[in-house]
């Protein structure tokens, strides 16, 4: 989705948009517009402060990572070992800031619109963050398919450099920074931060063994902060507005504004900025309600890797705690909405095919598990499922969850286990609508007979 929402929504939320406030301005991506609307004003405030004060500010703001895991951002920055003057150890190495712009979680569409509509907010955030962690090189790793976005970002970097916001001695502060916009090659796994770092180094994008963590041994084995686009784009506002202002939005443990990408069966899908903790009921109102009034069946709070929820969960507060309490996760706040016309096994199959396609292959559970799960689901949807298949699906998921090398494998199980949890009967009904055979391979014969005789061998009993 390359065109941002026409109208940043105000009512019924009292909060003025923060992250999306420039999106509807003319040529919002240009540095002129950005500066006119107060852009780059946080830099002088930032440079006037000691880097450690900035880290403290972000800690105080309670900003949590917007890439899915919700790790406290200030704490992450604080992990970067700083030079103790000994000239040895990780602190003596160069530090790097790497922006994870490899947005690829199904349903997620917040970083690419941000970079399309407001690239300078990211760049400004990168400058402040780099100053805080004392990095002089920042790489923005953008999903390769988002070509237009990469162009716009590169143009923005050029503009910023021309205005003296990048390069050497930025605004006379003595601080130097270069930003490189790197195009990934379109692999979901490269959104995993260590796989992203390997890919950025020119290696095969597969997750690294941790420890060592990127904070001490990240890009080129040097201390590295890897943050999501939206996280870093939030930083200038915190510097300008202060941590208390930031905390006035959202909830106690999940403060601040957030971009919710709403897709699926709603009247007006798109990006909606709201304070963390908004409910689906409220979001649906913003998005004009369910499309054609067809009732909601199920939805994901934060992309396909977060367990799906149902109409029971309309009033779950969508922040990190609220989603977790409901048995799901906030993820990337990619709200995918499905109405009653959608078959759960079919949707789950499509998601699982995605994970099978995107599994990097490094570890057994994810590589083999997604391969297996996809085939079972395809067979079920094809009308050849058995009741044992449901148990097999759940057990294979159990053998993947927590056993795989990185979170991709865990995420692949979420749609299946949650779908079986809430919609087991639908799976059973699908199976029951099929001929009853002793062995799977007999189904082929039954179907053949149906086609040739025109008779339905209805032995189907649930």
Angle at 318 between CA 120 and CA 72, to 5 degrees: 55
C-beta separation of 317 from 310 below 8 A: no
Cα end-to-end span (Å), the chain: 43
Alpha-helix residue ranges (DSSP H) falling in 278-343: 280-286, 320-325
Work out whether 388 is an interface residue with other proteins (CB under 8 A). yes
Shortest reach from residue 412's CB to other proteins, in Å: 11
DSSP tag of 339: E
Work out whether 80 is an interface residue with other proteins (CB under 8 A). no
Shortest reach from residue 69's CB to other proteins, in Å: 14
Out of 52, 252, 398, 429, the only residue in the binding site for other proteins (CB under 8 A) is 398
Out of 122, 153, 274, 396, the only residue in the binding site for other proteins (CB under 8 A) is 396
- Stretch of residues binding other proteins (CB under 8 A), selected from 56-64, 166-174, 286-294, 403-411: 403-411
C-beta separation of 73 from 227 below 8 A: yes
Work out whether 69 is an interface residue with other proteins (CB under 8 A). no
Query: 88 vs 96, 124, 211, CA distance in Å?
Result: 17, 31, 20
Work out whether 376 is an interface residue with other proteins (CB under 8 A). yes
DSSP for 9-66 reads --TT--SPPSSSTTTTSTTTTSHHHHHHTTTTTHHHHHHHS-HHHHHHHHHHHT-B-T
Work out whether 361 is an interface residue with other proteins (CB under 8 A). yes
Rounded Cα gap, residues 167 and 175, in angstroms: 9
Total residues contacting other proteins (rule CB under 8 A)? Answer: 36
Work out whether 434 is an interface residue with other proteins (CB under 8 A). no
Out of 200, 238, 347, 360, the only residue in the binding site for other proteins (CB under 8 A) is 360
Shortest reach from residue 228's CB to other proteins, in Å: 23
Work out whether 120 is an interface residue with other proteins (CB under 8 A). no
Looking only at residues 191 through 230 of this chain, which bind other proteins when binding is defined by CB under 8 A? 204, 206, 209
Q: By C-beta, is 100 or 404 nearer to other proteins?
A: 404
DSSP tag of 104: -
Extract the tokens encoding 32.
């002129």
Work out whether 369 is an interface residue with other proteins (CB under 8 A). yes
Rounded Cα gap, residues 392 and 287, in angstroms: 38
Looking only at residues 228 through 257 of this chain, which bind other proteins when binding is defined by CB under 8 A? none
Work out whether 426 is an interface residue with other proteins (CB under 8 A). no
E strands of 38-193, at which residues? Answer: 95-101, 135-142, 178-183
Work out whether 370 is an interface residue with other proteins (CB under 8 A). yes
Out of 253, 371, 426, 457, the only residue in the binding site for other proteins (CB under 8 A) is 371
- Stretch of residues binding other proteins (CB under 8 A), selected from 162-170, 309-317, 400-408, 443-451: 400-408
C-beta separation of 194 from 106 below 8 A: no
Q: Residue 182 in 3-state DSSP?
A: strand
- Stretch of residues binding other proteins (CB under 8 A), selected from 173-181, 261-269, 311-319, 359-367: 359-367
Work out whether 109 is an interface residue with other proteins (CB under 8 A). no
Work out whether 348 is an interface residue with other proteins (CB under 8 A). no
Out of 405, 422, 423, 427, the only residue in the binding site for other proteins (CB under 8 A) is 405
Q: By C-beta, is 24 or 392 nearer to other proteins?
A: 392
Q: What are phi and psi of 137, to 5 degrees?
A: -140, 130
Shortest reach from residue 369's CB to other proteins, in Å: 6
Out of 46, 58, 117, 187, the only residue in the binding site for other proteins (CB under 8 A) is 187
Work out whether 189 is an interface residue with other proteins (CB under 8 A). yes
Q: How many CB atoms within 10 Å of residue 218?
A: 28
- Stretch of residues binding other proteins (CB under 8 A), selected from 88-96, 293-301, 362-370, 418-426: 362-370
With tokens 């997620």, the residue in question is: 108
Work out whether 362 is an interface residue with other proteins (CB under 8 A). yes
Work out whether 265 is an interface residue with other proteins (CB under 8 A). no
Rounded Cα gap, residues 168 and 174, in angstroms: 7
Q: Residue 88 in 3-state DSSP?
A: coil
Work out whether 416 is an interface residue with other proteins (CB under 8 A). no
Rounded Cα gap, residues 399 and 366, in angstroms: 9
Shortest reach from residue 143's CB to other proteins, in Å: 16
Q: By C-beta, is 170 or 390 nearer to other proteins?
A: 390
CB-neighbour burial class of residue 172 (10 A; exposed 0-12, middle 13-18, buried 19+): exposed
Query: 297 vs 61, 72, 324, 347, 428, CA distance in Å?
Result: 36, 33, 20, 12, 17
Work out whether 379 is an interface residue with other proteins (CB under 8 A). yes
Work out whether 173 is an interface residue with other proteins (CB under 8 A). no
C-beta separation of 255 from 159 below 8 A: no
Residue ranges binding other proteins (CB under 8 A):
187, 189, 204, 206, 209, 356-365, 367-372, 375-376, 379, 388, 392, 395-396, 398-400, 402-405, 440
């Amino acid at each position: 989705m390359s065109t941002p929402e026409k109208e940043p929504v105000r009512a019924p939320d009292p909060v003025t948009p923060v992250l999306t406030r420039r999106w509807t301005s003319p040529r919002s991506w240009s540095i002129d517009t950005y500066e006119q609307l107060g852009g780059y004003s946080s830099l002088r405030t930032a440079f006037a402060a000691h880097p450690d004060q900035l880290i403290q500010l972000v800690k105080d703001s309670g900003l949590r990572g917007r890439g899915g895991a919700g790790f406290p951002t200030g704490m992450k920055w604080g992990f970067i070992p700083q030079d103790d003057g000994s000239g040895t150890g990780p602190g003596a190495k160069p530090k790097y800031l790497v922006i994870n712009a490899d947005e690829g979680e199904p349903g997620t569409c917040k970083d690419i619109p941000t970079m399309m509509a407001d690239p300078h907010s990211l760049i400004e955030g990168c400058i402040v963050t780099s100053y805080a962690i004392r990095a002089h090189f920042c790489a923005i790793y953008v999903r390769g398919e988002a070509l237009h976005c990469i162009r716009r970002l590169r143009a923005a970097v050029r503009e910023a450099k021309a205005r003296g916001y990048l390069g050497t001695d930025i605004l006379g502060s003595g601080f130097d920074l270069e930003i490189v916009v790197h195009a990934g090659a379109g692999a979901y796994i490269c959104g995993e931060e260590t796989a992203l770092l390997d890919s950025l180094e020119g290696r095969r994008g597969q997750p690294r063994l941790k420890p060592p963590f990127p904070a001490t041994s990240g890009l080129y084995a040097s201390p590295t902060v890897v943050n999501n686009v939206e996280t870093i784009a939030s930083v200038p506002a915190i510097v300008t507005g202060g941590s208390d202002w930031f905390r006035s939005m959202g909830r106690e443990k999940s403060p601040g504004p957030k971009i919710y990408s709403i897709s699926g069966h709603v009247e007006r899908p798109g990006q909606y900025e709201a304070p963390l903790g908004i409910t689906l009921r409220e979001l649906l109102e913003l998005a004009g309600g369910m499309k054609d009034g067809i009732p909601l069946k199920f939805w994901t709070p934060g992309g396909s890797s977060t367990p799906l929820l149902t109409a029971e969960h309309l009033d779950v507060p969508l922040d990190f705690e609220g989603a977790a309490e409901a048995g799901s996760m906030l993820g990337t706040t990619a709200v995918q909405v499905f109405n009653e016309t959608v078959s759960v096994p079919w949707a789950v199959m499509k998601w699982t095919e995605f994970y099978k396609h995107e599994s990097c292959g490094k570890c057994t559970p994810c590589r083999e598990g997604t391969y297996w799960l996809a085939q079972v689901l395809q067979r079920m949807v094809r009308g050849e499922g058995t009741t044992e298949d449901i148990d097999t699906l759940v057990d294979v998921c159990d053998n993947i969850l927590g056993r795989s090398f990185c979170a991709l494998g865990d995420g692949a199980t979420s749609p299946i286990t949650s779908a079986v949890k809430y919609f087991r009967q639908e799976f059973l009904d699908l199976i029951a609508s099929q001929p009853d055979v002793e062995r799977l391979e007999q189904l082929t014969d039954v179907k053949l007979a149906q086609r040739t005789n025109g008779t339905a061998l209805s032995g189907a009993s649930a």
